[in-house]
Structure 1
Amino acid sequence: MIGWLKGELLEKHAPELLINVNGVGYEVLAPMTTFFALPDAGMVELHTHFVVREDAQQLYGFASKDERRLFRTLIKVNGVGPKLALAILSSMDAPGFVACVQHDDVQALVKIPGVGKKTAERLLVEMRDRLKDWFMEGDATLAPTASVAPAQNMAITEAESALVALGYKPQDATKMVMAVAGDDSDRAEDLIKAALKRMK
């Protein structure tokens, strides 16, 4: 089991990261909350979860132990795999999800790609008992989001690809990105942030 990585961040292409750890390049999938918290380059540290399946091996990385803890709890829910758990944590941070469960906020959950009403209701029921110890940690807040961003073709393309990778349909990803494209930046990260914020 690979539980933690410390190395040089070589590439960021949401939601994938490439990290050089002593000459070995680790490909890591990260939720957008973690992705936005990392610098564009330099040394980074991630708490990780390694998933081994018959057809693939994938490493998931998180900026905090709480994010990883919630990811591990989510994938124990019937019908929720790593991809859906990643989409959930990309749409809201750990305290934000805990707040949804605490307040039975089905509407916030069904906005997440791959989460229908039945899945949302199952998440609320199954996660309520598993997250009891989180409810005493104070008011939860949604993940910080950035201002509306760029309209550069390359940034738009990268942002759309990232949203598709998170489970959104291509046509929906295009609509989301174009709805927030502005003149303030030329970074794909800003577009993704703004698009996800708009979905809340």
Structure 2
Amino acid sequence: MIAYVKGKLTVIQDDSVVVETGGVGYELICPNPFYYQHSLNEEVTIHTYLHVREDAQLLYGFKNEDEKLLFKKLISVSGIGPKGALGILSGADIASFVAAVESEDEKFLTTFPGVGKKTARQIILDLKGKLSTTFNITTPEDTIHSNDDSALLEAKEALKALGYTEKELTKILPTLKKEGLTNTDEIVRKGLALLLQK
């Protein structure tokens, strides 16, 4: 496995870059090749993943290990190939994508090219609970549990019972936490006020 390529960035194309090292030019397919435009003709280190098919061996390039790791997680999902994974990586930062998966935000996931409702559900099914620990990203749900804030958790469940979605509640949880309220009823009232503003 080729873990990374270090050398002179000589070419930037619509979907790839070329890095020359030891007299060989490696074409690396990237989520966003133009990320490297300020490094043209300079030495770069690009993390890589070699994808082997019957008809081709393709080298994919990433700006850091996290981007590469998310790519590998995505292509493990049924229905997502390297092209689909690149489309997701080029359209969202890792934190936003992880938050969408953890909050089961199908609408956000279907904004990516090639991701329909069925694929969005498969992403959630396969990756929920695995990404936040892998990338050390704290979701609002984790924050509640880590602080053992039972009143906030009870208020969230009460708001859910009133018909509000996980996505709507995820948006207001950080604000509710900052309020520092400890009474469930007060938190529910404040939550309703916030939800009505949106």
Query: What TM-score, normalized to structure 1?
Result: 0.64
| Structure 1 counterpart of 2:35, one-letter code | F
Q: Which has the larger radius of gyration?
A: 2
The alignment-based identity, stated in percent, is: 42
- Aligned-partner Cα distance in 2 for 1:19–1:40: 11
Q: RMSD across aligned C-alpha pairs, in angstroms?
A: 1.9
- In structure 2, do the counterparts of structure 1 residues 39 and 139 end up closer, same or farther at CA, with 3 Å as the change threshold? farther
Q: Is the 8 A contact 1:8 1:20 kept in 2?
A: yes
Could you tell me which residue of structure 1 aligns to residue 171 of structure 2? none
Shift of residue 138, structure 1, vs aligned partner: 3.8
Measured in 1, the distance between the counterparts of 2:129 and 2:18 equals 36
Q: Which residue of 2 is the match for residue 7 of structure 1?
A: 7
Q: Deviations over 1:37-94 (max 9, x none)?
A: 5524111111100011101110001011000011111111111111111111011122
Partner of 2:53: 53
User: What is the DSSP-based 3-state SS (H/G/I as helix, E as strand, rest coil) of the residue aligned with 1:112?
Assistant: coil
Aligned residues: 139
Say whether the 8 Å CA contact 2:110–2:116 is kept in structure 1: yes
Question: CA 1:130–1:43 in structure 2 vs 1: closer, same or farther (change >3 Å)?
Answer: same
Give the number of the structure whose residues are more often helix, by fraction. Answer: 2
2:38 aligned residue? 39
Taking structure 2 as the reference length, the TM-score comes to 0.65
Aligned residue in 2 for 1:115: 115
Distance 1:12 1:100, change over 3 A: same
Residues 1:133 and 2:133 aligned together: yes
In 2, Cα distance between the equivalents of 1:6 and 1:135? 24
| Counterpart Cα distance in 2 of 1:73 and 1:24 | 30
Contact 1:12–1:40 (CA<8 Å) still a contact in 2?
Answer: no
Structure 2 SS opposite 1:84: helix
Supply the distance in 1 between the matched residues of 2:65 and 2:72 (Cα, whole angstroms): 10
Report the alpha carbon displacement of residue 102 of structure 1 after superposing the two structures with TM: 1.7
Q: By how many angstroms is 1:6 displaced?
A: 0.6
